Amino acid sequence: MEPAFNAAMAATEAKKSKLDAWAQEAARSGRPEAGAKHFAAGKGACLACHQVGAVGRALGPDLSRIGAIRTERELIESILFPSNTIARDYELHAVVTSDGRNHVGLIKSRGADGLVLMDAAGQLLTLPTTTVVSETQLETSLMPGGLDAAFTPAELADLVAWLRSLR
């Protein structure tokens, strides 16, 4: 087990050491039009959870104006290490109900009657207050790590350049 853990840690550190270089590459040679095509084609599964305009799904944060608030480095870091910085209101919660069931998802609303939880499939579940035994905010993102593996370095630069252009 230890060799696998050490290899994973080494791979993470290698990615971290390249963040600035990848950000500079995206700014210098990323092709926004190619990045838009990667997104629309479903490469990396981005549109399974993110929306830009009318394209994609509104499970994760809307990316329609992401370039106005995030730099290339921040965008790349969010793709490579999605749990490092989780957008407000997109924190993952684990909720245990009185019937012993565990529910994991995003809290979409909360009221006196209960809470509405959206799971990874985008399904909404209403949990009455009287049935909620415990609720814990998790430190992991709903977005899984490793999605960057679907892209070549040039494609990742294109995607980031396109995201940065969205203002």
For the segment 26-64, what is each residue's pLDDT rounded down to a tens digit?
999 999 999 999 999 999 999 999 999 999 999 999 999
Q: Do residues 32 and 53 both lie within one domain?
A: yes
What residue numbers bound the domain in which 15 lies? 2-86+153-165
- Whether the CB-CB separation of 141 and 82 falls below 8 Å is answered with yes
Question: What is the tally of structural domains in the chain?
Answer: 2
Residue 16 within any structural domain of the chain: yes
Within a domain: 110: yes
What does the pLDDT look like over 57-100, one tens digit per residue?
Answer: 999 999 999 999 999 999 999 999 999 999 999 999 999 999 99
Strand-pairing partners, residue 109, are 116
Same domain, 10 and 71: yes
pTM for this prediction: 0.88
- Asked if residue 143 is part of any domain, the answer here is no
List alpha helices for 54-167, DSSP H: 72-80, 153-165
Q: What's the CATH code of the domain at 103?
A: 2.30.30.100
